Each structure stands twice: as C-alpha cells, then as structure tokens.
C-alpha cells in the first residue's frame, strides 16, 4: 500500500458518518503501534507530525520514510499529514519529503490574511497532488491546557473561507483545546451543525484528547471526519513505560519496548473503534 491523500480518506469517512484518528508521531515505536492498530481494525489512519516531532529524528524525509515503511509492511490505507504548519517554507519542505497532506495554520491571523495564506498553501499542495487542511477560528490551549485562547469558528464565514481558499479539509473551533482541559469540556455542537450545513468538505476536530466519548460521537454524526490525538497516546506510551519498568529491565531495549508498543497500540485501537462509532 502507498500513502494516500488525506482528503480522499476523509471524504469517505464523512459519507459514512465516521471519523478517522489522526495520531501524532514522534519515533518508530509509536509509528509501529499506530500501524498495528490500523491493521487490526482494518481502518484507514492518519499519521501526523508537527515540526517539533520530526526535527529530533532528522527531518520530515526520515519521518516520511518511516511511516511509508510501516504502511507497506502492514498493508494499511493511510495518509501522512503535517499538523500546524507554521509557514509556506515548512509546508513545502514536507510536501517535498513525501507528505500527502499538509496544514498551514494561519488561524491567529485576521480573516483576510488567513484566506490569502491558505489559498497560496492550497495551490502549492495541489501542485504536489496533496491535500490541504486549514483552520478557521482558533483552537486554543497548549502545554497543560495553558496557552492561546480559543476563538470559535463563525458559521457564516466558513463557507466563504472554503470557497475562496480551495482548502480540502476545514478544522473548526467548537470548544475543544489542545493539551489537557482545565475544566469540563463543553462542545458547541449547535455551531458545528450550522457549519456542516454549508461546508461539505471534511471537517476536522483538533484537541480530541480528553474529550468525552459521547461528545466525540455526536460531533462525528454532525460531520467531523478527522479527530486529532496527541496527549492521549503520549500519556499511554509513558504510562506503559512505567508499568513495564516494574517487570523488565530497560537495559534490554529489544524486550523492554515490545509491551510498550503493544499497550500504546491498544489505546490507539480503542480510539479508532470509538471514532468508527462501533456499538452506536
């Protein structure tokens, strides 16, 4: 199997009223865990990175090669996506490395500047036969849930933004946060419903970690086709290391990390099944 355009996978997901998990990648262990979960469930999956994840391992080319290897090894359908690309240079760097989808995040800019920057990025991505994600409104939070403040997406602006930018997937701000919640999560599903009426492109939910499953499933039913997960699987990975340390010596890395990969993969699998709305 080869890596696919992300919007191809997400259009099918939205038609079926399910969502695909977009899981943050930082090394070969967690990439393999995600791939294993996708193979067990028979579900497509999105591998995604920011520059903070691919820089420590040597750059986007190495990440692309690593993901491509596991996609072929386990014969899964998948896309490789740049999350929160900071500028056109970063977007182009990932496209040249083989990413099949990219995000230019100009969500903190004014509407007109967001439109202009996103349109340039869409033209660039389409020239590489890749898809582009952009964000309208702004999903806040950050390290420990502390950081920029959220700005909810305006439904009346969403259709205009998509039409003027030729963006393939639209990330919306409806109450989730990056990192961990400081209070009780409350999603503006009414606002999501309004957006979904006029925007037929796949809709993306950032800040999926820690969001109650019942709210995620309601959002999926209303049109969310991609849910970003970073904190939840990173915590599962670190917790698995602590549990494994009680039984195995880290001096034998080959043995030590096998159960770590398996436990993190089980967390990814549970999220994939949730996003497919199994049991609904």
Report strand pairing: 131-136 vs 169-172: parallel
Distance CA 225, CA 238 (A): 28
Q: Is 83 a catalytic residue?
A: yes
* Alpha helices in the chain, H assignment, sequence order: 6-15, 28-41, 51-54, 60-74, 88-97, 111-127, 155-165, 189-198, 213-221, 231-245, 253-275
Q: Which residues partner with 228 through β-bridges?
A: 22
| Maximum CA extent, the chain | 57
Q: Which residue's structure tokens are 């961990």? A: 180
Rg (CA), the chain: 18
Q: Which residues partner with 46 through β-bridges?
A: 22, 79
Q: Which residue's structure tokens are 């865990």? A: 33
Residues 6+ apart with CB under 8 A from 230: 23, 24, 178, 209
Q: Which of 68, 77, 83, 232 is catalytic?
A: 83
173 backbone dihedrals φ, ψ, rounded to 5°: -105, 110
Closest CA to 150 of 187, 199, 115: 187
Whether the CA torsion 179, 82, 92, 159 is positive or negative: it is negative
Token pair, residue 254, equals 């080959």
Q: Can you tell me whether residue 136 is helix, strand or coil?
A: strand
Residues noted as catalytic: 83
């Amino acid at each position: 199997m080869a890596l696919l355009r992300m919007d191809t996978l997400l259009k099918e997901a939205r038609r079926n009223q399910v969502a695909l998990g977009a899981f943050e990648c930082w090394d070969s262990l967690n990439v393999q865990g995600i791939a294993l979960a996708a193979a067990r469930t028979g579900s497509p999956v999105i591998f995604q990175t920011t520059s903070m994840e691919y820089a420590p391992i040597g750059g986007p080319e190495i990440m692309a090669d690593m993901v491509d290897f596991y996609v072929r090894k386990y014969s899964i359908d998948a896309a490789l996506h740049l999350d929160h690309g900071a500028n056109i240079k970063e977007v182009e760097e990932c496209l040249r490395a083989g990413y099949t989808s990219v995000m230019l995040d100009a969500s903190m800019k004014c509407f007109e500047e967001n439109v202009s920057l996103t349109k340039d990025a869409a033209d660039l991505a389409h020239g590489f036969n890749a898809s582009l994600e952009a964000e309208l409104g702004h999903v806040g939070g950050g390290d420990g849930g502390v950081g920029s403040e959220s700005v909810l997406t305006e439904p009346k602006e969403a259709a205009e933004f998509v039409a003027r930018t030729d963006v393939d997937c639209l990330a919306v701000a409806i109450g989730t946060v990056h990192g961990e919640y400081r209070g009780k999560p409350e999603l503006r599903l009414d606002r999501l419903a309004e957006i979904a009426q006029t925007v037929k492109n796949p809709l993306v939910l950032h800040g999926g970690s820690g969001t109650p499953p019942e709210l995620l499933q309601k959002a999926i039913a209303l049109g969310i086709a991609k849910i970003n997960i970073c904190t939840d699987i990173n915590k599962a990975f670190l917790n698995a290391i602590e549990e494994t340390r009680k039984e195995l010596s880290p001096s034998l890395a080959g043995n030590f990390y096998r159960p770590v990969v398996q436990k993190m993969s089980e967390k990814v699998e549970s999220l994939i099944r949730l996003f497919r709305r199994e049991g609904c």
